[in-house]
């Protein structure tokens, strides 16, 4: 004898759930961003291709509009599952719209194609929908495959759901199909006046499809708003004497700097922080590895590795000390790779870890109590700031000094 009968009727992407009531039914609409990144699968933990050769992520906190018969019946930011609120399931033609505007608790990412275009909207039609007495029907739509704005939105959606990523309650602007203004050869950049630009590289590839570059440029944005953009005059001097410490081998992008170049330590911190930020976004901090897809060519003993180059940011390469000539006199030179691995361990690996707020405090202390915009920064003022803030022999101070030695960012 059957005591209960459960029936599920699936039509397309709509899930019908019977009710014991014959009250008016409800419709709910859910969206997911589809993405395909060229640097996926380099050992990272997040934004993987979970649908074979592409991936999907709930369009959480994304602006959406529902039309019925040509009129809006619901609008707002979707919830953490990328779903709208429920609306009365009246008969009619429905259209589900989403755009690349994301807002979680006041932290906003607004993503446009270019600085002279409006929002890019995506939509899905649901014609001839009947009334649904006693039912709650959920329609799920997939948006944005192959679109630059949607790829950037997938990164931003993932980012706002992560704790402790240094984000503020403010708007972050991204132009997903536009080269950097006034910076020839730079496919991606942050202009220090509230805009990230994602254009195409020297081979015509759109960098919005490289999730490491998207996160890297957002990392510059975050750094600037936390404690200011310190001086980033690269002044590369690896040259012919140290080819593994120059960017002469780079063809896909500019040669102004690269992850292995010997450059001013202040600039190495700027770029190293952004590389670390990307690795931090796509990896669990508690893990023993941190896969990062580097987006320029890398020279390893004369063998040129094409991007994306898989780099484990949890490894202390000590690139400057092993392959370049450290500046033992002033300590004013560094490499982006060493600073990226330094920040990774400083932020992730012990109970004395430095959060983004801690890093903000250290840099502002090193800059005299305010933002560091334009300041030339070496390791030594940071070390003094750590001592001033936490004391000379505290676990946090010892973690800073030990990590500095381990990753080769101090050369005195």
Surface-to-core class of residue 125, CB atoms within 10 Å of its CB (0-12 exposed, 13-18 middle, 19+ buried): exposed
Give the torsion sign (CA, 248, 252, 254, 260). negative
pLDDT score for 6: 26
Q: What is the pLDDT of residues 117-164, one digit of tens each?
A: 888 999 999 999 999 888 999 999 999 999 999 999 999 999 999 988
- Please report which confidence band the pLDDT of residue 412 belongs to, taking 50, 70 and 90 as the band edges: low
**Model confidence at 107: pLDDT above 90:** yes
Q: CA-CA distances (angstroms) from residue 147 to 51, 75, 177, 260, 344?
A: 17, 23, 9, 31, 31
Q: What is the mean pLDDT of the chain?
A: 91
What does 28-91 look like in DSSP terms, one character per residue? EEEEEEEE--TT--SS-SSS--TTSSSEEEE-TTEEEEEEETTEEEEEEE--TTSB---EE--S
Q: Which token pair is 286?
A: 């508690």
The pTM of the full predicted model, rounded to 2 decimals, is 0.92
Q: Is the peptide bond before 308 cis (omega within 30 degrees of 0)?
A: yes
The alpha helices in 187-258, defined as continuous H runs, are 211-227
pLDDT score for 287: 74
pLDDT > 90: what percent of the chain? 81
pLDDT score for 325: 83
208 contacts 189 by C-beta, under 8 angstroms: no
**CA angle, 86 as apex, 80 and 91 as ends, to 5°?**
140
- What's the maximum distance between 2 C-alpha atoms anywhere in the chain? 88
* Paired residues of 62 in beta bridges: 102
pLDDT score for 349: 64
Q: Specify the CATH architecture of the domain 9-100+117-146.
A: Sandwich (2.60)
Helix (H) / strand (E) element for 103: namely strand 92-104
How far apart are alpha carbons 36 and 88 in whole angstroms? 35
Intervals of CATH 2.60.40 along the chain: 9-100+117-146
Q: Which token pair is 346?
A: 């400083």
Intervals of CATH 1.10.390 along the chain: 226-407
Residue with tokens 């607004």: 110
Residue 349 backbone dihedrals phi, psi, to 5 degrees: -100, -10
pLDDT score for 235: 84
Q: Which token pair is 218?
A: 């957002």
What's the whole-number mean pLDDT along residues 5-25? 41
Question: 226-407 has which CATH code?
Answer: 1.10.390
**Model confidence at 1: pLDDT above 70:** no
* Paired residues of 110 in beta bridges: 101, 173
pLDDT score for 286: 72
Residue with tokens 């008016």: 24
Residue with tokens 């014609």: 127
Residues contacting 216, CB < 8 A, separation 6+ = 188, 274, 275, 277, 278, 295
76-111: buried (b, 16+ CB within 10 Å) or exposed (e) per residue? Answer: eebeeebbbeeeebbebebbbbbbbbbbbeebbbbb
238-253: buried (b, 16+ CB within 10 Å) or exposed (e) per residue? Answer: beeebbbbbbebbeeb
What's the whole-number mean pLDDT along residues 233-248? 85
What does 261-289 look like in DSSP terms, one character per residue? --EEHHHHHHHHHHHHHHHHHHS-TTSS-
Q: Which token pair is 84?
A: 């709208």
Pick the range with the lowest mean pLDDT from 12-16, 44-48, 334-338, 395-399. Answer: 12-16
Helix (H, G, I), strand (E, B) or coil at 336: helix
Say how many residues make up the chain: 412
Q: What is the pLDDT of residues 191-226, one digit of tens each?
A: 878 899 999 999 999 999 999 999 999 999 999 999
């Amino acid at each position: 004898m059957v005591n209960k009968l459960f029936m599920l009727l699936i039509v397309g992407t709509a899930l019908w759930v019977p009710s014991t009531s014959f009250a008016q039914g409800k419709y709910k609409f859910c969206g997911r961003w589809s993405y395909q990144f060229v640097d996926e699968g380099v050992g990272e933990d997040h934004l993987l291709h979970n649908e074979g050769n592409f991936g999907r992520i709930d369009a959480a906190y994304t602006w959406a509009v529902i039309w019925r018969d040509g009129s809006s019946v619901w609008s707002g930011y979707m919830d953490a599952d990328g779903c709208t609120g429920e609306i009365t399931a009246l008969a009619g033609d429905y259209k589900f719209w989403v755009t690349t505007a994301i807002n979680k608790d006041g932290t906003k990412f607004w993503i446009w194609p270019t600085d002279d275009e409006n929002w890019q909207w995506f939509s899905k039609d649901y014609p001839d929908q009947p009334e649904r007495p006693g039912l709650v029907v959920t329609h799920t739509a997939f948006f944005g495959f192959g679109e630059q704005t949607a790829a950037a939105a997938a990164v931003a959606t993932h980012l706002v759901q992560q704790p402790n990523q240094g984000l503020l309650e403010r708007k972050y602007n991204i132009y997903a199909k536009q080269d950097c203004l006034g910076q020839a050869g730079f496919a991606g950049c942050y202009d220090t006046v509230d805009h990230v630009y994602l254009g195409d590289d020297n081979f015509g590839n759109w960098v919005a499809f490289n999730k490491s570059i998207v996160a890297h440029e957002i990392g510059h944005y975050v750094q600037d708003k936390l404690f200011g953009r310190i001086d980033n005059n690269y002044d590369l001097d690896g040259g012919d004497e140290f080819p593994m410490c120059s960017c002469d081998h780079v063809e896909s992008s500019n040669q102004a700097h690269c992850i292995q170049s010997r450059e001013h330590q202040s600039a190495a911190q700027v770029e190293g922080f952004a590389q670390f930020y990307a690795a931090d976004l796509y990896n669990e901090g508690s893990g023993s590895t941190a896969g990062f897809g580097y987006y320029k060519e890398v020279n390893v003993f004369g063998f040129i590795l094409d991007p994306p180059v898989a780099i484990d940011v949890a490894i202390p390469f000590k690139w400057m000390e092993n392959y370049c000539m450290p500046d033992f006199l002033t300590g004013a030179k560094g490499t982006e790779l060493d600073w990226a691995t330094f920040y990774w361990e400083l932020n992730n690996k012990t109970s004395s870890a430095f959060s983004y707020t801690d890093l903000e405090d250290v840099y502002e202390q090193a800059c005299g109590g305010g933002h560091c915009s334009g300041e030339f920064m070496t390791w030594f003022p940071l070390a003094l700031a750590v001592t001033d803030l936490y004391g000379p022999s505290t676990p946090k101070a010892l973690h800073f000094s030990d990590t500095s030695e381990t990753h080769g960012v101090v050369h005195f």
